[in-house]
Amino acid sequence: MRVLGIEGTAWCASAAVFDDAEDAVFIESDAYEPDSGGIHPREAAEHMGEAIPAVVGTALSRAREEHGADPIDAVAFSRGPGLGPCLRIVGTAARALARTLEVPLVGVNHMVAHLEVGRHRSGFDSPVCLNASGANAHLLGYHDGRYRVLGETMDTGVGNALDKFTRHVGWSHPGGPKIEARAAGGEYVDLPYVVKGMDFSFSGIMSAAKDAYDDGVPVEDVCNSLQEHTFAMLTEVAERALSLTGTDELVLGGGVGQNDRLRGMLAAMCEARGADFFAPEPRFLRDNAGMIAVLGAKMAAAGDTVSVAESAIDPNFRPDEVPVTWRGDDESVSRVPDPNGAASGGADDVALRGAEATVEMSGDAVTKRRLPKGYRHPDLDATLRRERTVSEARLLAEARKQGVPTPLVRDVDVAEATIRMQRVGERDLAAALSEEAVGTVGEHLARLHAADVVHGDPTTRNVRVDGERVFLLDFGLGFGSGHVEDHAMDLHVFEQSLVGTADESASLVAAFEEGYASVSEEAVLERLRGIEGRGRYQ
């Protein structure tokens, strides 16, 4: 099958032809480059209107030269997410071309295409994918017929965040390559670092970076530290996603993935935990029609085509809205084994490795050591390990005061980032999911929030169960807050872990919220609905 793909979600007008028999992709692109500032939607649309016919003509001519008069079996196009005016031009061109060639039309989600081209070229079975692009930043994994969002930005995409700083400095779009070039000669300075479970935020670090520049900190130092902080955040949440799902494959997608420092961090993290990492060549990382054509071929082969009437563009087309027709149910990213083996748990010695620490269980004792992370700058790494160790010990004790079962802390060594505590539970909640257990988690979180305590990372891996008892663990990302938004984010993180890994998660989510509501007021659940509706991962 040969598919002509057309991409034009924002700044890059691109057409490509993918031949699945030869696994060959020809790409022709014409990128919009604003004279100043960021992308201007009207100017981007004007560029798209001029460039799309040219790049499509070049790709089609190339296909005819190589394969004769009728070289195309389907036309695929990016339906979204993206800028509406640009998407409409691409959609119109794709419909007209499909009618002219008398071939099927395929509507492709741009973000899923970033994932699928990496999966295709890596040969991985079911990887977690980190999408790091201009308007997006999230982690996706295939589970239960959809690509599930395992983690996401809470405000803006990583590329747009970096561009905000470069516009402040006065540099032209795109800003990422300019930051990378200047960072090479810079020194490390402290900036905010915000990770909540597998979610993350860039607004605070961008404001601090602008302030540092305005206060006279050399721009090279600010650029260096922007990379060290933002990319370490992405790498940390990627490792958390690997730990949550149990998979050992990671694929990188998106234009920011061209950055050498980001790729180096991800590769180092995967090597340290024995996982496989793949980053496609740069032409498949930046916006391109090759990925649209590759996914379009998979969808067309599965019969997943659209009529003209069904082909409307969607500027807010979320990746988890896409029915994944081209993959089997046995390819779930979630493997979630029971790390303790037998249900009894008993007093057997067990050694576990999570995303952030090793946990050694012996008898009724547990020793948790936060590991140095070689991908992080040493100063940042030391700060995070120290602060999280202190926070965990303090909040474990505070939770117990509120009647929430947690391990009893026996000793804390801040210098070694080590906590020795009581062994609790027979197994992780991930291996023993039930409506009763998740409902109890909801009750526990409500009690914490009533005391202005935020867990920070309540996933199914950070809960232990023992018969009817449910224990909360790992408060390293926790903090004190009475703000309803912070409480709702706790619920959001836990529900993401359910939806991303559990079978028939809807009933579990409902039980969790019912448990929370039985103890707490409705305001937090109302705010949770708002968080879900923001579509941060569009």
Catalytic residue list: 457
Residue from 134, 160, 139, 162 nearest 150 by CA: 139
CA distance 67 to 241: 43
For residue 430, give the DSSP letter. Answer: G
- CA torsion 330-332-338-343 (nearest 10°) is -50
Q: What does the block give as tokens for 273?
A: 């935990």
406 burial (CB, 10 Å; 0-12 / 13-18 / 19+) is buried
Provide the CA 39 distance to its chain's centre, in angstroms. Answer: 24
DSSP letters spanning 229-281: HHHHHHHHHHHHHHHHH---EEEEESGGGG-HHHHHHHHHHHHHHT-EEE---
> In sequence order, which residues have a C-beta less than 8 Å from that of residue 492 and are 6 or more positions away?
199, 528, 531, 532
Q: Count of CB atoms within 10 A of residue 42's CB?
A: 9
Location of structure tokens 């007008």: 13
For residue 487, give the DSSP letter. Answer: H
Pairing outcome for strands 2-7 and 128-132 = unpaired
Q: Are 439 and 433 in contact (CB under 8 A)?
A: no
